[in-house]
Structure 1
Amino acid sequence: MSRARLRIVLAGAGHAHLHVLQRADELRAVGVEPILVSPATFDYSGLATAVLSGALPPARARLDVAALAARFGVPHVPAEVAAVDLSARRLRLSDGQDLAYDAVSFNVGSITDAPGKLGGDGGAWPVKPLARLFALRAQVETYIREQGESPAIVVTGGGPTGFEVAAALAGLSERNGVRPDLRLVHRSAPDWAPPRALTRLAITLARRGVTKEEGEVVSREPGRCVLADGRALPCDLLVLATGLTAPPVIAALGLPLSEDGRLEVGPDLRTMGDPAVFAVGDCAVIAGAPRPAAGVFGVRAAPALVHNLGALANGSEMRPYAPQSRWLSILDLGDGTGLALRGGLWSQGRGALALKRWIDLGFLDGLRAASGEVLED
């Protein structure tokens, strides 16, 4: 008699699940039936600002997930998980389907945590989902083409994403032959990088036309946005880089969440409230070891996830994943340079961006080679 197979649904095509797809044969060998539920394409966050700045076309940062799943024999449902019935172990999908599971793994990324009224403003541009950010590039280019100048852009958010997006938008204006008209608004002095690195970055951006404003954007009106202290700033386009949180389906699970709305998991990557639910990447955080939303953690967690999904079927011991305390992050500054950060070390210049391109393009090109996808010129 053949052994019953465990149906494990991979919800989302984030960094970790892309790795799981490539090791599907190993999972099937121990009795796992993996199924992928995700949109047909994956927009890679590491190259998002390169697309926004005009340095790369959108296709260069987009992967054909359907082709990758097909290459490794994993059934793919081009939808998203809309709701979960934990007790019945069933998923309701965005296309109306109902899907049973023995275990489910969430690798669904993150969305912009937009405050108050700004979150409901359809005219604002959140930095995630990334498709929205790619559309922003087209909007800016259209404005420049029609008006002959840069739109007045306000980026709200003083974290690394806010600075990187502001730099990318400055680069987009520069590539289109106009000087940026751009303001970066943040509530307090940034502290996410060494002080000297932040000082140099601020000087670089100021020379390129990016003005920093301390405050909080609370509303937007035609042609301007208003800060909490009553000041008004010229604003044709408002970009929200106000932090990240998990997609709504994560909060709807009713499982323990971190303060920033991400699923809390143990070292085995299972949620604290249901051993049949795994989570990795931006939508999750290991309890007691908080880390920012960054692709490196999904990549590093992937081998442990593969092992632990298989352990459900063969009864082997779960493998813990311990996120590293120091990691490399590189901001693309939109002008052919980058800012590399690792712990207290930093470097700004062309070498930093060259390293970033080598890492990011190598990651995607490796996946394309595995799937057989060919980019058109």
Structure 2
Amino acid sequence: MRRRPVRLVLAGAGHAHLSVLQKASLLRAAGVEPVLAAPGLFSYSGMATGVLSGALEPQRMRVDVAALAARAGVTHFAAEVTGADRSNRRLHLSDGRMLAYDALSLNIGSRTLDPHGLADLDAVWPVKPLARLLDLRDRVQAHLRMQGQSPAVVVAGGGPTGFEVAAALAGLIERSGARPFVHLICRSTPTWAPPRALERTLEKLRRRGAEILMGEVVARGPGHCRLADGRTLSCDALVLATGLEGPQEIRDLGLPVSQEGRLEIAPTLQSIADPTIFGAGDCAVIREAPRPPAGVFGVRAAPVLLDNLLSLGDGRAPRRYAPQKTWLSILDLGDGTGLAFRGGAWSLGRGALALKRRIDHGFVDRLRRASGEVLQD
């Protein structure tokens, strides 16, 4: 008697699941029937600051997930997973439907840390979800048209994302012919890149009109924000680049999570407490090999995730994924240059940005072709 296929729900359309989707025929051949629950469009985070700066148009970073699923023959529920009944193996979707599963793979990204409850206030933009950054771009451009000068922008967060967003906003303002008025607020001295690379990047930002301050944004009011030490800054737009954490849906599973709320998984990408649940990308972290949320890990984990999802049907032993200890990061500095670094090596200039564009465009264009889109650009 032929065994009933394993019903696999792919929750989210992150880097790893987009790769798995394209191999859906292999899953079906192994006795695994994939189903996708995710919004119909994917926005690639690697291009988000290029779009924010005005260098790229929004459609350049988008992939039609619905078309990709249709081409792969995968049933697609255009909704997000909002909860799970693990005892009955059922998922709650944002459109009110319930979805049964035998196995579940989570690739649902992350959300912005908001320790002071600022994200829902007026004129505050967390860096996640990415759609909010498009709204921020429109708001800044509207201010420039009406006022003829830069809005007062405050970016809270001294990590690479904070630097990149501050540089992108400076680039957006520069493209209008105005002098940027941007404050970048760092809680401590940045150490995420080689010291000389950081020094050169800071010098560049200061020349362009960005001021870097030590402190922490703790409150937001009309036309200003307040730092923990009592200082106030003029502020027309506050951007939260204060770090990332796992989405609430991960915490609600009742499974072990890291301090940042990311699903704790084994090297096989399975929950350490429930082998029927897999995780990849920002929403998960290997307990014995923690790495920060970065797209490179979702991309590199995808082949291992596919093999281990295939093992649900063919019974093979699952593979182990060992994330790399160093990786290439490239920041788009919004002025036609980039900062590339890996370990102690770094490069600042147009070549770094050209490399970033080649990598990012190649990744997105492969997905767009797989979805059946005819590329015009």
Q: Find the residue that maps to 1:116 and give its secondary structure.
A: coil
**Equivalent residue letter for 2:6:** L
8 Å Cα contact 2:369-2:375 kept in structure 1: no
> Does residue 1:86 correspond to 2:86, yes or no?
yes
Partner of 2:77: 77
1:64 maps onto 2:33 in alignment? no
Q: Which amino acid aligns with 1:78?
A: A
Q: Tell me, in whole angstroms, the C-alpha distance in 2 between the residues paired with 1:117 and 1:46.
A: 27
Secondary structure at the residue paired with 1:117? coil
Q: Which residue of 1 aligns with 2:342?
A: 342
Q: TM-score, normalising length from structure 1?
A: 0.99
Q: Cα deviation per residue 1:141-169 (whole Å; 9 max; x = unaligned)?
A: 01101111110000000000000000000
Secondary structure at 2:117's aligned position in 1? helix
Residue 295 of structure 1 is matched in structure 2 by 295
Aligned residue for 2:109? Answer: 109
Partner secondary structure for residue 211 of structure 1: strand
How many pairs are equivalent? 377
- Corresponding residue for 2:97? 97
Matches of 1:85 and 1:250, distance apart in 2: 12
1:357 aligns with 2:362: no
TM (norm. structure 2) is 0.99
- 1:304-343 pair list within 5 angstroms: 304-343=304-343
1:65-214 pair list within 5 angstroms: 65-214=65-214
Name 2:31's counterpart in structure 1.
Answer: 31
Q: What is the SS of the residue equivalent to 1:39?
A: coil
How much does 1:376 deviate? Answer: 6.6
Change (3 A) 1:375 1:224: farther
1:3 equivalent to 2:7? Answer no
Q: Which amino acid aligns with 1:153?
A: V
2:119 aligns to what SS in structure 1? Answer: helix
Query: Are the aligned partners of 2:185 and 2:214 in contact in 1 as well (CA < 8 Å)?
Result: yes
Alpha-carbon distance in 2 for matches of 1:345, 1:376: 36
Instruction: Check the 8 A contact 2:270/2:277 in 1, yes or no.
Output: yes
Partner of 2:249: 249
For 2:66 and 2:375, the matched residues in 1 are separated by: 15
- Residue 248 of structure 1 and its aligned partner are, at CA, apart by 1.0
For 2:375 and 2:64, how far apart are their aligned partners in 1? Answer: 10
Q: Which SS does the other structure have where 1:219 is aligned?
A: strand
Structure 1 residue 123: deviation in Å?
Answer: 2.9
Counterparts of 1:242 and 1:76, CA distance in 2: 33
Letter in 1 for 2:180: P
Q: Is the 8 A contact 2:10 2:34 kept in 1?
A: yes
1:258 to partner: Cα distance: 1.0
Root-mean-square deviation (CA, aligned residues, Å) is 1.0
Give 1:273 deviation, angstroms.
Answer: 1.4
Is the 8 Å Cα contact of residues 164 and 333 (structure 2) preserved in structure 1?
Answer: yes
Q: Which amino acid aligns with 1:170?
A: A
State the alpha-carbon separation in 1 of the partners of residues 241 and 143 from structure 2: 21
The residue identity in structure 1 corresponding to 2:307 is H
**Letter of the 2:123 counterpart:** G
User: 1:54-113 CA deviation, whole Å, 9 max, x = no partner?
Assistant: 000000011100011111111110000010011110001000000100000000011111
Q: Deviations 1:184-240 (Å, cap 9, x if unpaired)? A: 001110010111011000000000000001111110111110111110101000000
Per-residue deviation, residues 315-368 of structure 1 (Å, max 9, x unmatched): 101010000011101000000000001111110000000000000000011111
CA distance in 2, matches of 1:219, 1:83: 31
- Corresponding residue SS for 1:347: strand
Counterpart residue type for residue 77 of structure 2: V
Larger displacement relative to structure 2 (38-47 or 365-374): 365-374
Cα distance in 2, alignment partners of residues 98 and 374 from structure 1: 35
In 2: Cα distance, 1:32 partner to 1:199 partner: 52
Point out where structure 2 has 5 or more consecutive residues left out of the alignment. Answer: none
Once residues 182 and 56 of structure 1 are traced to their aligned partners in structure 2, the CA distance between those partners, rounded to angstroms, is 21
1:12-35 deviations in Å (ceiling 9; x for gaps): 000000000010011000000000
Q: Structure 1 stretch 53-62 or stretch 114-123: which is displaced more?
A: 114-123
Rounded to whole Å, the distance in 1 between the matches of 2:113 and 2:60 is: 27
CA contact (8 A) 2:34 2:75 kept: yes
Distance 1:60 1:140 in 2: 20
SS at match of 1:206: helix
> 3-state SS of the aligned residue for 1:361?
helix
Amino acid at match of 2:298: G
* 1: CA distance, partners of 2:69 / 2:373: 12
Amino acid at match of 1:247: P
> How far apart, in 1, do the equivalents of 2:69 and 2:256 lie?
31
Alignment partners' CA distance in 2, 1:246 and 1:261: 5
CA distance in 2, matches of 1:227, 1:264: 34
CA distance, structure 1, for counterparts of residue 288 and residue 203 of structure 2: 37
Q: CA deviation at 1:375?
A: 5.4
In percent, how many aligned pairs have the same letter?
65
Question: C-alpha deviations, 1:246-275, integer Å up to 9, x for none?
Answer: 111011111111111111100000011111
Q: Which 5+ residue runs of structure 1 have no aligned equivalent?
A: none
In 2: Cα distance, 1:213 partner to 1:26 partner: 52
